[in-house]
Amino acid sequence: MGKIVALMLGDVVGKAGCRAIFTYLPALRKKYKADIVIVNGENAADGRGMNPEIVDLFFRSSVDVITSGNHIWHNPDILPVIEKEKRLLRPENYPIGVHGSGHCTIKVKDTSVGVINLEGRAFLSNLRCPFNVGYEIVQKIRKETKTIIIDFHAEWPEEKEALAMYLDGEITALIGTHTHIQTGDYRISKKGTGYITDIGMTGPQNSVIGMDPRIVLEKNLTQMPLRMEVAEFTADIMGISITIDSESGKTINMEPVWEKATV
């Protein structure tokens, strides 16, 4: 039985998160023996969105696929990059005609890995149904490979668990992102689909989901519409390592990732 290992890292937040990726990812790739690295980068540029320079540096740091979410549109200069770079994904279920694509297929060893990016609708935008769109794209990719990983960028655990059950046995793993808090509910279904509600963030320690705690506290205490700013501390690197049977596309093992950075 052939095996491949996918390393997926949670939302990269600000300069601290970027430094951690640029500095530590090559070594982490070796540590976890990762054959493919998927990183959600939607908060990489000062907490909201990405820019062309960060995208380039991510790929230079051994990232294979960059996923995103609702903040990917914050910097307009990313739009030409999304159109050109097929490994930079935005959620697939945005309206037809929106810049870029929400899925790609990457050659890994002697097989291929499909990566799909979807966004939830609960407490977010009223996008196309992630269940219908997700199923449609999964069936399309399954004609090429059974190894399919979904980054479901969503707020509500119910929506995440429901989509994982809807696609159970059709995909390798559904990995939740967006809330920046790593959950302890990672598991593998009887049909071989891995799941975790959220893999957490790669961002500054001693923060509130990556933001400066002083501003967040003042906002909560005063209820004033203060602008959040990214905290400037050293980062934690959070994510999940997924071991996959390359023939069946089923998840064999899952291991949470939580590494301390010192830059």
Tell me how many helices (H) and strands (E) the chain has.
6, 13
Task: Give the separation between CA 248 and CA 29, rounded to whole angstroms.
Answer: 23
3-state class of 143 per DSSP?
A: coil
Phi-psi region of 233 (alpha: psi -120 to 50; beta: other; left: phi over 0): beta
Provide the 10 A C-beta neighbour count for residue 95. Answer: 8
- In the residue annotation, 71 being an active-site residue is answered as yes
Active-site hit among 71, 153, 178, 180: 71
The CA–CA distances, whole Å, from 243 to 51, 94, 167, 225 equal 31, 30, 19, 44
The CA–CA distances, whole Å, from 102 to 6, 78, 237, 259 equal 18, 15, 24, 28
- Decide if 115 contacts 138 (C-beta within 8 A): no
Which residues are known catalytic residues? 71
